[in-house]
């Protein structure tokens, strides 16, 4: 049986060191709910949903035309959203991040992709379906340099969701 469609999104991967540090910090919060597996921590740029496999070449071409720049991303806010979503956000999202997400969104929409209408909200989901608000001792402080963006395929295994990188594009870091 051949695969006809893939659940896709563009995102920023975390360096392994940052993912491990965030995982340890999050585990100290006793969030409950469903924590996002450490291997899946990322920041979504554009969610595409289910797409025909035949569109992968077009997605590669469109993403390859984006001329984003690398940037320092600082996650320093714990956010609690609807339906028990707990995430890390940035008190000052870098302009390069906003521009990258906007250029991807505009390029995909111009190519005929149907995308969510909501405004870009830069965040890293820590857990879902949390029933209690976490209590913080101090403020979160995680930072890294975003040097690439990735097209991910969302699938699942025995342990839950798995986000597999399919393709990546560099974000050159200015000197």
pLDDT digits (tens, 9 = 90+) for 48-74: 999 999 999 999 999 999 999 999 999
Predicted local distance difference test score (pLDDT) of residue 133:
72
Of 162, 141, 174, residue with least CA distance to 37: 162
The 3-state DSSP class for residue 137 equals: coil
Which residues participate in catalysis according to the annotation? Answer: 42, 123
Spatial distance between the Cα atoms of 6 and 86, rounded to a whole number of angstroms: 26
Look up the CATH number of the domain holding residue 132: 3.90.1140.10
Q: What is the pTM of this model?
A: 0.92
Does 175 reside within a domain? no
Domain tally, the chain: 1
Range of the domain at 142: 5-170
Q: What angle do CA 46, 47, 49 make, to 5 degrees?
A: 150
Range list of H helices, the chain: 16-27, 56-64, 95-110
């Amino acid at each position: 049986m051949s695969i006809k469609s893939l659940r896709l999104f563009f995102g920023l991967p975390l360096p392994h060191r940052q993912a491990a540090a965030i995982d340890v910090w999050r585990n100290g919060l006793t969030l409950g709910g469903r924590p996002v597996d450490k291997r899946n921590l990322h920041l979504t740029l554009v969610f595409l949903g289910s797409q025909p496999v035949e569109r992968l070449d077009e997605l590669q071409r469109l993403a390859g035309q984006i001329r984003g720049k690398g940037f320092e991303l600082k996650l320093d806010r714990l956010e609690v959203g609807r339906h028990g979503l707990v995430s890390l956000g940035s008190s000052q999202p870098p302009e390069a991040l906003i521009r990258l997400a906007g250029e991807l969104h505009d390029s995909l929409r111009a190519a005929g992709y149907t995308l969510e209408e909501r405004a870009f909200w830069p965040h890293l989901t820590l857990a879902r379906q949390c029933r209690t608000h976490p209590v913080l001792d101090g403020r979160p402080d995680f930072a890294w340099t975003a040097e690439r963006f990735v097209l991910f395929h969302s699938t699942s295994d025995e342990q839950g969701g798995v986000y597999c990188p399919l393709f990546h594009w560099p974000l050159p870091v200015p000197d």
